[in-house]
C-alpha cells in the first residue's frame, strides 16, 4: 500500500502547472550603462577595450566556485578573473533601477513571484535565502563563451558572443541570464576578445506560505482525498517520501527557499494537510551504498575505470533522512 499512496502523490504532483523555468536569459530590454569604475584603473568604457581589460585583470584574483557546500579554487573547473565588490563602484545613479527591473523580470520568469570559462558546476548558496544567480553581461567584443545551464534532464544554451551567436548586437547590448543555484552550469572558453560581467546573488525574502495557483486548486482536493484515505488505512505507511525537483544545501532546506515547481508542490501538500491528519516536513535525503568489490581491470590513474571495481552483487542500499524542518 505504501507504493500505492506514493505513486498517487507523485502522479498528482507531476501534473502541477507552474509558471517559470529553471533559467531565463536574453537581451536587456533597455539600455543602461552601470558607470563601472575600477580602483587603480578608473572609469571603464563600454564596449570593453583590450587595454582596459588587461588593466582590470591586473587588479583581479582567480574566481572560486561552489562544490557541494564549500567554495573552492580550481582553474581546471573555473578559469575566470574576478574583482571583489570593494574594488569597484557603479556610479550611474539609474543603475539600481535597472537592476530592480531585471530582478523583477527574473523572479517572474523563474517562478519566484507567482503572485574566462566554467566547467559544469553548481553555485554554492553563499547567503541566507540565496536561490539563484543573475549575470549581467556588459557590452563586449568577444566570441565563444556560451552559457550552458542544465537541470532535471533539460539543457539551455545561450550564445551571446560575436556575430555567430544567437544575438549579433553584443557590442552595444547588455544580457542578463538568471538561473537557480542548484543548476549545473558551464561557460565555454572565450575564443576571442574579452567579456565583462556583473554577478548578482538572487535572494528570496519570501516569508510564509504562498497561495496555490488557481490552475492547481483541483489538485488540492485530490491531495485531501489521498491524505484522508491514508489516514483511515491502519495498514498504511507511517511516512511517505517525495523527492523534490531541485537540490538544496543543508542551510537551504527551508519552506521559504523552495524553488519553482517545489514551491507550488509543497504548498499544495501543506494546504491539504491543514484539513487532514498529515504533517508535511522537509528533510535532507542521503543514499548510502555498501558491499563487496572485485578488481575487473581497474586503472589506478583513471577515475572512471573504478566503475569496473564495483560489484553489484550483495550491494546494500540505505536511505537516511536528516535536517528535518517543520512548518512554522
**Distance between CA atoms of 44 and 53, rounded to whole angstroms?**
9
Of 178, 203, 228, the last residue of a domain is 203
Q: Quick one: 219 and 188 in the same domain?
A: no
Q: Quick one: 53 and 197 in the same domain?
A: yes
Does the pLDDT at position 327 exceed 70? Answer: yes
| Average pLDDT of span 137-163 | 82
Question: When comparing pLDDT for 304 and 321, which is higher?
Answer: 321
Residue 192 maps to a domain: yes
Contacting residues for 179 by C-beta, under 8 A, at least 6 apart = 22, 23, 24, 25, 110, 132, 133, 149, 151, 185
The mean of the pLDDT values for the chain is 78
CA triplet 80, 85, 88: central angle to 5 degrees? 95
| Average pLDDT of span 167-182 | 66
| Average pLDDT of span 199-206 | 79
Q: Strand 154-158 to strand 190-193: parallel, antiparallel, or no bridges (unpaired)?
A: unpaired
506560505: which residue's cell? 209
Q: Using CA of residue 110, residue 116, residue 120, residue 126, what is the dihedral sign?
A: negative
So what's the pLDDT on residue 145? Answer: 85
- State percent of the chain over pLDDT 90: 22
**Distance between CA atoms of 223 and 276, rounded to whole angstroms?**
10
The DSSP code sequence of 224-270 is HHHHHHHHH-TTS-S------SS---STT--GGG--HHHHHHHHHHH
Q: Quick one: 162 and 96 in the same domain?
A: yes
What is the DSSP code (8-state) at residue 307?
A: G
The pLDDT confidence band at residue 69, using thresholds 50, 70 and 90, is low
φ/ψ bin of 68: left (φ > 0), alpha (ψ from -120 to 50), beta (otherwise)? left
The 3-state secondary structure of 287-305 reads EEEECCECCCCCCCCCHHH
So what's the pLDDT on residue 10? Answer: 92
**Distance between CA atoms of 247 and 68, rounded to whole angstroms?**
10
Phi, psi of 182 (to 5 degrees): -90, 0
Of 180, 203, 226, the last residue of a domain is 203
| Average pLDDT of span 22-44 | 86
So what's the pLDDT on residue 117? Answer: 47
The pLDDT confidence band at residue 27, using thresholds 50, 70 and 90, is confident
Domain count, the chain: 2
**Distance between CA atoms of 55 and 60, rounded to whole angstroms?**
9
Q: Quick one: 54 and 192 in the same domain?
A: yes
**Distance between CA atoms of 16 and 28, rounded to whole angstroms?**
30
Residue 290 maps to a domain: yes
Query: What CATH number corresponds to the domain at position 59?
Result: 2.60.120
pTM over 0.75: no
545551464: which residue's cell? 149
Amino acid at each position: 500500500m505504501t507504493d500505492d499512496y506514493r505513486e498517487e502523490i507523485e502522479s498528482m504532483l507531476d501534473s502541477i502547472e507552474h509558471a517559470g523555468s529553471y533559467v531565463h536569459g536574453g537581451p536587456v530590454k533597455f539600455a543602461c550603462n552601470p558607470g563601472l569604475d575600477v580602483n587603480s584603473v578608473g572609469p571603464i568604457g563600454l564596449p570593453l577595450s583590450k587595454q582596459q581589460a588587461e588593466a582590470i585583470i591586473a587588479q583581479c584574483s582567480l574566481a572560486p566556485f561552489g562544490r557541494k557546500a564549500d567554495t573552492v579554487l580550481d582553474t581546471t573547473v573555473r578559469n575566470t578573473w574576478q574583482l571583489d565588490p570593494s574594488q569597484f563602484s557603479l556610479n550611474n545613479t539609474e543603475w539600481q533601477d535597472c537592476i530592480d527591473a531585471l530582478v523583477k523580470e527574473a523572479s517572474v520568469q523563474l517562478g519566484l513571484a507567482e503572485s574566462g570559462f566554467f566547467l559544469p558546476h553548481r553555485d554554492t548558496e553563499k547567503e541566507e535565502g540565496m536561490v539563484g544567480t543573475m549575470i549581467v553581461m556588459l557590452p563586449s567584443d568577444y566570441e565563444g563563451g556560451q552559457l550552458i545551464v542544465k537541470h532535471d534532464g533539460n539543457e539551455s544554451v545561450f550564445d551571446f558572443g560575436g556575430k555567430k551567436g544567437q544575438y549579433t548586437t553584443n557590442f552595444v547590448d547588455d544580457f542578463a541570464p538568471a538561473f537557480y543555484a542548484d543548476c549545473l552550469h558551464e561557460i565555454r572558453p572565450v575564443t576571442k576578445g574579452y567579456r565583462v560581467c556583473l554577478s548578482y546573488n538572487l535572494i528570496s525574502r519570501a516569508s510564509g506560505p504562498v497561495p496555490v495557483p488557481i490552475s492547481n486548486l483541483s489538485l488540492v482536493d485530490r491531495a485531501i482525498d489521498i491524505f484522508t484515505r491514508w489516514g483511515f488505512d491502519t495498514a498504511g505507511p507511517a511516512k511517505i517520501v517525495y523527492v523534490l525537483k531541485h537540490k538544496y544545501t543543508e542551510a537551504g532546506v527551508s519552506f521559504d527557499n523552495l524553488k519553482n515547481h517545489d514551491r507550488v508542490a509543497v504548498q499544495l501538500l501543506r494546504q491539504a494537510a491543514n484539513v487532514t491528519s498529515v504533517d508535511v516536513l522537509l528533510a535532507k535525503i542521503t543514499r548510502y551504498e555498501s558491499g563487496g568489490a572485485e578488481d575487473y581491470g581497474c586503472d589506478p590513474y583513471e577515475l572512471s575505470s573504478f566503475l569496473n571495481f564495483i560489484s553489484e552483487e550483495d550491494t546494500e542500499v540505505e536511505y537516511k533522512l536528516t535536517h528535518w524542518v517543520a512548518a512554522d
